[in-house]
A = this chain, B = another copy of it.
Amino acid sequence: MTFQEKLDKIVKKNKSLVCVGLDSDVTRLRQDFGEAKQLSFNKTIIEATHDLVCSYKLNTAFYESIGHEGINALKDTCDYLVQKYPEIPIIVDAKRADIGNTNKGYVQFIFTYLGADAVTLHPYLGEEAIRPFLDCKDKGIIILCKTSNPGSDEFQNLQVSIPSLYDRAKMVRPLYQIVAENVINKWNKNKNCLLVVGATYPGELKEVRKIVGDMTLLVPGIGAQGGDLEATLKVGLNSKKQGLIINSSRGIIFAENPREEAMKLRNEINKYL
C-alpha cells in the first residue's frame, strides 16, 4: 500500500485531515512521565487522539536534542504506532537531504529503522541528489516548498527568471513556485511526492495548489504559529475536497485537554469539506 492510499483510508475512517505533531520537547514535559518521558508522553497523546487524526508527525529535532536516548524514544514511539495503530501513517519531519548515496543512510534510518511512512526533505540539492528517497515508491516524500516561518521569503520568494518555451521573453516566478513545478513535473515519477506549504501563507498556498493539481500538501503553521485555518482550507483543498494534511503540534499536545483540542480542530476543518 502506498503512503497516499494509507492516508486516504484513514482520512475516510477518522473523518480527519488533522496531523498531530509529536514535538515532545523534553524541557516542557512534566516530571511525572518518569524515566522514558518522551515515550510515555507520546503514548498519552496517541491514546487521546488516535481516532481523530489522519497521521502523526515526529520532528527529529525534539528527540535528537537528548542524544541516543531521544533516538530510542523516537524509535519506541514509531514501534508503538506500527504495532497498535498500523493504519495511521507516520511522518518523520526530519528535513534532511544530502547528496546521492549518502541519503541511503537516512532512507535506512527513517524507513527501515523507524518504520515511518513519509519524510520531509529540503529541495536545495535537487532531484538527482535525493533520488534514493524518490525511489521509495510506497513512501511519502514531502518536499519543503514554502515554509511557515516569518523569514521564509528570503530565498523562497526570490524572483527567478526562467526561459519561456514559446518565445524569447523570460518568465519570472518566485523560487517556491519553481520548486512546486519541478516536483510535480519531474520528481513525481512514482507519484509519491508531497509538498510543505505553511498555513501562514495562504496566498502562496493558492498558487501552489494551481501548480500541483490534486497533490497532497502538508500544512504546518496552524495553532501556535497563527496560520489562518479558514483561508488555508478555502484555497488549499483539492478538487476532491481533500489533499491537505493540517498539522498542529504544540497547540494540541501541550493543551490542557489534547483530545478536546484535536476534536475542535478536526470539526472546524470539516465544516469546510
A residues with CB within 8 A of B: 23, 25, 59-68, 71-72, 75, 95-100, 102-106, 108-109, 113-114, 122-129, 144, 147-156, 158-162, 172, 175, 178-179, 182
User: Chain B contacts of A151 at CB under 8 A?
Assistant: 125-129
7 CB-based A-B contacts, threshold 8 Å: A61-B109, A67-B109, A68-B75, A124-B144, A126-B149, A126-B156, A160-B161
Q: Which of B61, B105, B178 contacts A103 (CB 8 A)?
A: B61
What 6 pairs across the A-B complex have the smallest Cβ distances? Answer: A128-B151, A61-B105, A126-B154, A65-B105, A64-B109, A99-B149
* CB–CB B113/A127 < 8 A: no
* CB–CB B158/A175 < 8 A: yes
* CB–CB B175/A152 < 8 A: no
Q: A65-B105, A65-B106, A102-B61 are in contact. Are A152 and B129 (CB under 8 A)?
A: yes
* CB–CB B178/A172 < 8 A: no
* CB–CB B172/A149 < 8 A: no
How many copies are assembled? 2
* CB–CB A68/B66 < 8 A: no
**Complex CA distance for A180 and B89, rounded to whole angstroms:** 39
**Complex CA distance for A76 and B17, rounded to whole angstroms:** 42
* CB–CB B153/A64 < 8 A: no
* CB–CB A126/B153 < 8 A: yes
* CB–CB A64/B149 < 8 A: no
**Complex CA distance for A231 and B161, rounded to whole angstroms:** 30
User: Chain B contacts of A179 at CB under 8 A?
Assistant: 155
Smallest CB gap from A129: residue in B:
B149
User: Chain B contacts of A144 at CB under 8 A?
Assistant: 124-125
Smallest CB gap from A62: residue in B:
B105
Q: A124-B155, A124-B156, A152-B126 are in contact. Are A113 and B61 (CB under 8 A)?
A: no
* CB–CB B149/A125 < 8 A: yes
User: Chain B contacts of A67 at CB under 8 A?
Assistant: 71, 75, 109, 113-114
**Complex CA distance for A59 and B62, rounded to whole angstroms:** 20
User: Chain B contacts of A65 at CB under 8 A?
Assistant: 104-106, 108-109, 113
Minimum C-beta distance from A217 to chain B (A): 17
**Complex CA distance for A102 and B58, rounded to whole angstroms:** 12
